[in-house]
DNA sequence: ACATCCTACCCAAACGATTGCCCCAAACGT
DNA sequence: ACGTTTGGGGCAATCGTTTGGGTAGGATGT
């Protein structure tokens, strides 16, 4: 824990106490084993190390960053941390960052372009080494700007153009859902497709739509509607989808929360989710399994996505060429998806 | 947006370009109106300002921090960001921090004392000006250590000893629940009390228990059981509570997620939440209103708690004396709390 | 005409760590 | 015996800001 209370211990504290020069102490403490051997005698190395942790020495990161032009900081932008999906991804990022000795700044942008700009500027002002965006918009304008300014970054959760990203294979996820619903006999499915600018929703929808088309059952446009990624969003969207002479026999919501909203909307119309209408979500958030009506959903490796995203950024910062990763989703069948009535 | 791409623009860039000394530029850019007037002529001030934002100058925070020994950084520790309650509180913190020109580091500790120690150390190593703990443990040992080291901090969500904190008035919240259940005629209520080290659960429980005692209906010890603050935790705890000859007619779970778990456990026993057994949660998370069985709960001002927590820390850093704040909870009655059958 | 006071700046020393270069002494080679 | 290497460290500049002191030249006061 270090015995110091007021005076911060610096390299000089140690150097003076040992009659050495700060540069020597710096080399001893900083360099890897191979280096420190030629920096000082084994005996000196030992004395320096011992005193350093006796005093609880911790290098001043501001001084280091100033000198090295490397902050060991990364900025993370997400739509909302109170969305458990992004929160979990961020947990992965933070975990991996800590392992690498990096720290992260995270900020919400609410998917608002202006906030994206101002928050990015703030974060860059803090001299981060790189950034991770969890709120990429399909139109890619903002990210093009950032790339143009030479800031290294990677994307998580959503893809955009060919910026490096770590995502779930959302398209495949959509296909898995289609396979499942086809198998259950559903010929008429509606999609709560999420925000139109999010690749997650776009790709999940595309996967399902393509698979249905391949099965000879093209999904008409009026069966697809956009929505927010939350409960009220899913509720409203589903209400719209049900406002038709013949309601669909299955609803695919591209997000678990939207799916919960969908269940609510169904109930409101006197339809029983899981019996009259199959409902499938996406992400397998912890709640899905524990709902009164356990939710069929697609598990996406959120924590892993965050971890890999950070490691990809690190490789990028080291100058390596990186390639986008697409993680494998997995269908989890539960009670909410019933066979076609 | 700044026209620079590679060479960072510093005070010197501006000074050289204007034939001034960096110190002059620094004063012009840094000081408040009253100061900058005596730092340079109105004309010079104007030229400096114009060039600064033409070049998109952003002060290097590492240099500033090194010099001033103030980092404008605050560290935040929470049990888990993927818990929506803490995530929301953190959003409030981050929001308020941004308004004050501060940045935050946030880390999960999982309520694990060792993680609390190592993460705190990391954060302090980053030279934060102060900290906010959302994971205080009732036993206060760790926080006493931190206080002993002279790190300024405040608590949010949970209280501990007399460290300054911003919390919901959890005790009152518990009483509100008791009032409600008493009014409904419930004479036999069980409590899913959360983690034993969290003041939230402790106080909410105490509020309910005290009120019931005052009503002449003391709650026996076997009606109270601890649990994790999540769905499986609430499920398991409720299962234990139901494993008795005469099940209670109402269950108070000190957290919405635990309440959802409780509803599941009831169903498993063939009991209908909201009909056979009243269920009340706490926090009024966005889900509560949207559940298949809308949940009676107590609204706690989570975002506001975060915002106030940060502002309290700022006051503390400015040397003001601060006093703990207890925010008002509000009972929200929904379908899950039925009158006693 | 002299001291005095502003005005509008400049100087230089920090803050703490990193790093290319230099240097001294002992050891070594031939 | 003398030049060369090597082991063990010291020197000093540098990163970008802040801030407690100057100081030169003009205006002001008497």
Residue-wise pLDDT for B280-315, tens only, equals 999 999 999 888 899 999 999 999 999 999 999 999
**Burial (CB count <10 Å: 0-12, 13-18, 19+), residue A117:** middle
Asked whether residue B24 falls in the same domain as residue B123, the answer is no
Give a yes or no: residue A340 inside a domain.
no
Judged against a pLDDT cut of 60, whether residue B238 lies above it is answered with: yes
Q: Reduced to 3 DSSP states, what percent helix, strand and coil does chain B have, rounded to the nearest 5?
A: 45, 15, 40
Mutation test of the interface with chain A: which of B2, B58, B75, B81, choosing the one with the most A Cβ atoms within 10 A?
Answer: B81
Chain A residues touching B71 at Cβ < 8 A: 62
Give a yes or no: residue A293 inside a domain.
yes
B22 touches chain A (CB under 8 A): no
Min Cα separation B87/chain A (Å): 5
Residues forming a β-bridge with B105: A105, B75
Kindly list the distances between the CA atom of residue B338 and the CA atoms of A128, A250, B127, in Å, as whole numbers in the listed order. 53, 33, 52
Asked whether residue B54 falls in the same domain as residue B149, the answer is no
Q: How far apart are CA B333 and CA B85, in angstroms?
A: 19
Higher-confidence residue: B36 or A221? Answer: A221
DSSP readout, A63-81?
HHHHHHS---EEEEEES-T
Asked whether A274 and A260 are in contact (CB, 8 A), the reply is no
Cα B175 vs. chain centroid, distance in angstroms? 22
The dihedrals phi and psi of B74, each to the nearest 5 degrees, come to -130, 145
Give a yes or no: residue B85 inside a domain.
yes
Answer whether A61 sits within 8 Å of B106, measured CB to CB. Answer: no
DSSP readout, A158-172?
S--TTS-EEEE-HHH
Q: What does the pLDDT read at residue B3? A: 38
Asked whether B329 and B176 are in contact (CB, 8 A), the reply is yes
Could you say which nucleotides of strand D lie within 7 A of any protein CB atom? 7-12, 14-21
Q: How far apart are CA B130 and CA A316, in angstroms?
A: 32
Asked whether residue B321 falls in the same domain as residue B248, the answer is no
DSSP letter for B40, please: S
Asked whether residue A241 falls in the same domain as residue A155, the answer is no
Start-to-end CA span in chain A (Å): 65
Answer whether A81 sits within 8 Å of B91, measured CB to CB. Answer: yes
Give a yes or no: residue B65 inside a domain.
no
Name the band, by pLDDT with cuts 50, 70 and 90, for residue B5: very low
Q: How far apart are CA B31 and CA B244, in angstroms?
A: 70
The candidate with the shortest Cα–Cα distance to A262, out of A285, A242, A234, A243, is A234
Q: Which residue is nearest to nucleotide C14 (CA to C1')?
A: B67
- Contact between the CB of A125 and strand D at under 7 Å: no
Q: Is B19 left (phi over 0), alpha (psi -120 to 50) or beta?
A: left
Asked whether residue A43 falls in the same domain as residue A15, the answer is yes
Kindly report the CATH number assigned to the domain that includes residue B104.
3.40.50.2300
Counting one residue from A and one from B, how many pairs have CB atoms under 8 Å apart?
Answer: 124
Closest-approach residue (CA) in chain A for B104: A105
Tokens 């999609």 map to which residue? A191
Domain total for chain A? 3
Facing residue for A63 by CB, picked from B66, B94, B286: B66
Chain B residues touching A59 at Cβ < 8 A: 125
Q: How far apart are CA A150 and CA A160, in angstroms?
A: 17
Asked whether residue B103 falls in the same domain as residue B225, the answer is no
Give a yes or no: residue A182 inside a domain.
yes
Could you say which nucleotides of strand C lie within 7 A of any protein CB atom? 7-20
pLDDT digits (tens, 9 = 90+) for A178-187: 999 999 999 9
Asked whether A265 and A248 are in contact (CB, 8 A), the reply is no
Kindly list the distances between the CA atom of residue B303 and the CA atoms of A66, A104, B156, B203, in Å, as whole numbers in the listed order. 35, 21, 11, 20
Asked whether residue B112 falls in the same domain as residue B87, the answer is yes
Q: What does the pLDDT read at residue B120? A: 98
Closest-approach residue (CA) in chain A for B107: A94
Per-residue pLDDT of chain A (341 residues), as tens digits, is 433 346 789 999 999 999 999 999 999 998 765 554 577 888 899 999 999 999 999 999 999 999 999 999 999 999 999 999 999 999 999 999 999 999 999 999 999 999 999 999 999 999 999 999 999 999 999 999 999 999 999 999 999 999 999 999 999 999 999 999 999 999 999 999 999 999 999 999 999 999 999 999 999 999 999 999 999 999 999 999 999 999 999 999 999 999 999 999 999 999 999 999 999 999 999 999 888 899 999 999 999 999 999 999 999 999 999 999 999 999 999 999 977 77
pLDDT digits (tens, 9 = 90+) for B205-221: 999 999 999 999 999 99
pLDDT digits (tens, 9 = 90+) for B175-209: 999 999 999 999 999 999 999 999 999 999 999 99
Closest-approach residue (CA) in chain A for B6: A150
Give a yes or no: residue A41 inside a domain.
yes
Answer whether B62 sits within 8 Å of A58, measured CB to CB. Answer: no
- Contact between the CB of A62 and strand D at under 7 Å: no
Q: Reduced to 3 DSSP states, what percent helix, strand and coil does chain A have, rounded to the nearest 5?
A: 45, 15, 40
Facing residue for A81 by CB, picked from B58, B81, B291: B81
Give a yes or no: residue A65 inside a domain.
no
Asked whether residue B239 falls in the same domain as residue B120, the answer is no
Estimate in Å the CA A143 to C1' C17 gap, whole number: 34
Domain coverage including residue A18 = 11-59
Asked whether residue A244 falls in the same domain as residue A201, the answer is yes
Answer whether A71 sits within 8 Å of B60, measured CB to CB. Answer: no
The dihedrals phi and psi of A334, each to the nearest 5 degrees, come to -135, -165
Min Cα separation A5/chain B (Å): 6
Asked whether residue B122 falls in the same domain as residue B183, the answer is no
A268 touches chain B (CB under 8 A): no
Asked whether residue B53 falls in the same domain as residue B99, the answer is no
Q: How far apart are CA B130 and CA B124, in angstroms?
A: 8
Q: Exposed e or buried b for every residue in B186-212, given b needs 16+ CB within 10 A?
A: bebbbbbbbbebbbbbbbbbbbbbbbb
Asked whether B284 and B332 are in contact (CB, 8 A), the reply is yes
Facing residue for B82 by CB, picked from A84, A107, A261: A84
Structure tokens at A168: 């779930």
Instruction: Please name the residues between 212 and 241 in chain A that touch chain B, using a CB distance below 8 Å.
Output: 230-232, 235
Q: Single out the residue in A21, A40, A59 at which a domain terminates.
A: A59
Q: How far apart are CA B134 and CA B76, in angstroms?
A: 7
Asked whether residue B124 falls in the same domain as residue B152, the answer is yes
Q: What does the pLDDT read at residue A39? A: 72
Mean pLDDT on B78-98:
97
Instruction: Please name the residues between 112 and 171 in chain A that touch chain B, using a CB distance below 8 Å.
Output: 119, 122, 124-127, 145, 149-150
Altogether, the residues listed in chain B come to a count of: 341
Give a yes or no: residue B198 inside a domain.
yes
């Amino acid at each position: 824990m270090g015995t110091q209370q007021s005076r911060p211990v610096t390299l000089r504290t140690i150097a003076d106490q040992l009659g050495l020069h700060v540069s020597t102490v710096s080399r001893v403490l900083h360099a890897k084993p191979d280096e420190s051997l030629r920096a000082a005698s084994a005996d000196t190395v030992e004395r320096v190390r011992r005193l350093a942790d006796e005093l609880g020495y911790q290098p001043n990161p501001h001084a280091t960053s100033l000198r090295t032009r490397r902050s060991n900081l990364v900025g993370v932008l997400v739509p909302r941390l109170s969305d458990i999906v992004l929160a979990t991804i961020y947990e992965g990022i933070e975990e991996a960052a800590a392992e690498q000795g990096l720290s992260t700044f995270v900020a919400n942008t609410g998917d608002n372009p202006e906030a994206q700009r101002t928050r990015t500027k703030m974060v860059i002002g803090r001299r981060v080494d790189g950034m991770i965006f969890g709120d990429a918009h399909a139109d890619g304008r903002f990210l093009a700007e950032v790339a143009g300014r030479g800031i290294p970054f990677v994307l998580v959760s959503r893809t955009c153009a060919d910026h490096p990203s770590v995502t779930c294979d959302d398209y495949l996820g959509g296909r898995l859902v289609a396979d499942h619903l086809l198998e259950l006999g559903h010929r008429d499915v509606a999609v709560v497709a999420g925000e139109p600018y999010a690749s997650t929703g776009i790709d999940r929808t595309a996967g399902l739509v393509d698979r249905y088309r391949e099965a000879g059952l093209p999904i008409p446009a009026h069966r697809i509607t956009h929505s927010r990624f939350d409960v009220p969003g899913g509720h409203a969207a589903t209400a719209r989808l049900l406002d038709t002479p013949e309601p669909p026999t299955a609803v695919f919501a591209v997000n678990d929360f939207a799916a919960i909203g969908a269940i609510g909307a169904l109930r409101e119309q006197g339809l029983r989710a899981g019996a009259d209408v199959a409902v499938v979500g996406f992400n397998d958030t912890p709640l899905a399994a524990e709902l009164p009506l356990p939710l069929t959903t697609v598990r996406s490796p959120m924590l892993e996505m965050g971890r890999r995203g950070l490691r990809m950024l690190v490789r990028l910062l080291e100058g390596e060429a990186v390639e986008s990763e697409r993680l494998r989703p997995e269908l989890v069948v539960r009670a909410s998806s019933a066979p076609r009535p």
